[in-house]
Amino acid sequence: MAIERRCFAVDLHNDAEMIAAYRRWHEPGGPPAAVTKAIRADGVISLQIWQIADRMFMIMEQDSERAPDPEIKKQRDAANPEVAEWDRMMAAFQKPLSSFPDQTWVEMEHIYDLRDQP
């Protein structure tokens, strides 16, 4: 198994009530079981979302040997009514980062590792 860590960012609409609702949706048992099952089926071993104000940061560890091609994943998620509905609901809370106006959950580039430093 080859574990790969991937990190993503997205912003939420800067509205305290919307942010609180988004957080409630992500409490244990909040996401539908079909969503959790779909995430795990993609080889995701660990997934955490962190927040500061309206910025969200996701850290995901995934078995890269089980990770689907992004286009296949997109098609599979769209064909799953519960996953598609979850994505639609969450999109109402999210707003794209200014540099990526047509995309949410933008993958970040790894640029530093303390282990690489002398």
In a domain, 14, yes or no: yes
pLDDT at residue 10, as a whole number:
97
**Domain limits at 73?**
3-95
Nearest to 74 by CA among 26, 32, 38: 38
Q: For residue 24, give both structure tokens.
A: 């409630």
pLDDT at residue 1, as a whole number:
83
Instruction: Give the phi and the psi of residue 109 in degrees, each rounded to 5.
Output: -100, 130
Catalytic residue among 3, 5, 13, 75: 13
The enclosing domain of 57 has a CATH number of: 3.30.70.100
In a domain, 103, yes or no: no
State yes or no: is 26 an active-site residue: no
In a domain, 90, yes or no: yes
Q: Which helix (H) or strand (E) holds 97?
A: none
In a domain, 52, yes or no: yes
In a domain, 38, yes or no: yes
Indicate the number of domains in the chain.
1
Span 16-52, pLDDT tens digits: 999 999 999 999 999 999 999 999 999 999 999 999 9
Span 67-98, pLDDT tens digits: 888 888 889 999 999 999 999 999 999 999 99
Helix (H, G, I), strand (E, B) or coil at 95: strand
In a domain, 115, yes or no: no
Strand-strand pairing, 44-52 and 55-63: antiparallel
Q: How far apart are CA 107 and CA 97, in angstroms?
A: 11
In a domain, 117, yes or no: no
